[in-house]
Amino acid sequence: MKVVFIKKAKQELEDSVCLYELEFTGLGRRFKEEVRKAVLRIKDYPFAWSVERGDVRKCVLHKFPFKLLYAVEDEYLLVIALAHQHRKPDYGIEIS
């Protein structure tokens, strides 16, 4: 199943990668790899992750305090947000 990031989620990923890279060389790359692994898990088991609200599900990253908010559509998975778990708890839900 294809995974599609909305424009805002893609920007959140790029911004977070840059921020982590500024913090420590190579950390941004590790963060991006962790997001890639989460996307692969979602592709394999789209309904395994808990429902955040309505049709929006969340997949929590293992090594970083972020979650991927996504919806299962007929022909693809739509990533709505890449949300930091310690800031704005409802972030991503209000835009879905």
Residue 54 domain-assigned?
yes
Residue 8 domain-assigned?
yes
User: What total number of domains does the chain contain?
Assistant: 1
Residue 95 domain-assigned?
no
Residue 9 domain-assigned?
yes
Residue 45 domain-assigned?
yes
The Cα–Cα gap between 88 and 52 comes to 14
Q: Which domain holds residue 25?
A: 2-84
What pTM was estimated for this model as a whole? 0.88
CATH number, domain at 18?
Answer: 3.30.2310.20
Residue 89 domain-assigned?
no
pLDDT over 90 at 76, yes or no:
yes
Residue 20 domain-assigned?
yes
- 20-34, 62-76, 79-93: lowest mean pLDDT where? 79-93
The Cα–Cα gap between 83 and 96 comes to 13
The Cα–Cα gap between 3 and 40 comes to 9
